[in-house]
């Protein structure tokens, strides 16, 4: 626990599956993904977060509050509404679908925990963060964000007043600038 979080219970979830080491894979489109691989994304990104949140909620409620932050991704919003004339980027149906489900779970948990002063929010990188997983698929990005900037946003989001900010999906730059505006694709 950091000094700024002393006395405040906070949890961050967001483990995501990664591909096997080796050569760069192609974008795994909808038709080529077996159900077991699709389900694996939900097991890790949604069901693990669900179980972890349920495990910590009794202690947060007993303590009089806390903060849960689920890490999400712009992939939850891709490919967006069609038609799709530019097909250069690719999509990740399992990963993006699980992150969309995690955002909905975040809102449902926030609704149930609001009366207990537990903030539940989803935090998304506002810009790509070149993690090993993203580097696997990376193309050139105009702008990226350093991982420590995202970490600072998570700490700041953990300190919000649950009566003011809960049930939201927020980009990390909107946390750092204090606006806490909903995350949108630019």
Which listed residue (95, 111, 136, 137) is catalytic?
95
The verdict on whether 95 is a catalytic residue reads yes
Output DSSP code: residue 181: P
The 10s digit of each residue's pLDDT in 128-155 is 887 776 766 656 677 889 989 999 999 9
Residue 119 pLDDT > 60: yes
Query: Rounded to whole angstroms, how far apart are CA atoms 116 and 162?
Result: 9
Domains of the chain, each with CATH number or no CATH: 35-79+91-177 (3.40.50.720)
CA torsion angle 49 50 51 52 (round to 10)? 40
User: What was the pLDDT predicted at 21?
Assistant: 44
Report percent pLDDT > 70 for the chain: 81
Q: Is the pTM of this model over 0.75?
A: yes
8 Å CB contact between 90 and 32: no
What's the rounded Cα separation, in Å, for the pair 160 and 60? 15
Over residues 12-59, the pLDDT tens digits come to 777 555 554 444 556 667 888 899 999 999 999 999 999 999 999 999
Question: What local confidence, expressed as pLDDT, does residue 140 receive?
Answer: 66
CB atoms within 10 A of CB 155: 15
Residue 176 has pLDDT above 80, yes or no: yes
pLDDT on residue 4: 43
* 71 against 91, higher pLDDT: 71
Closest CA to 94 of 149, 152, 133: 133
Segment 149-171 shows an average pLDDT of 96
């Amino acid at each position: 626990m950091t000094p700024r979080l002393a006395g405040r219970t906070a949890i961050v979830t967001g483990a995501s599956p990664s591909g096997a080491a080796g050569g760069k894979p192609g974008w795994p489109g909808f038709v080529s993904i077996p159900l077991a691989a699709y389900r694996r994304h939900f097991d890790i990104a949604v069901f693990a977060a669900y179980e972890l949140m349920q495990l910590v909620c009794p202690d947060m409620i007993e303590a009089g509050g806390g903060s849960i932050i689920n890490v999400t991704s712009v992939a939850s919003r891709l490919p967006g509404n069609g038609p799709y004339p530019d097909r250069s980027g690719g999509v990740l149906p399992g990963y993006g679908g699980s992150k969309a489900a995690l955002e909905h779970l975040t809102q449902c948990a926030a609704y149930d925990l609001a009366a207990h002063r537990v903030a539940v929010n989803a935090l998304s990188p506002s810009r790509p963060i070149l993690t090993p997983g993203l580097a696997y698929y990376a193309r050139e990005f105009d702008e990226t964000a350093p991982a420590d900037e995202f970490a600072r946003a998570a700490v700041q989001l953990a300190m919000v007043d649950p009566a003011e900010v809960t049930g939201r999906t927020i980009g990390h730059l909107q946390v750092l600038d204090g606006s806490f505006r909903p995350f949108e694709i630019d």
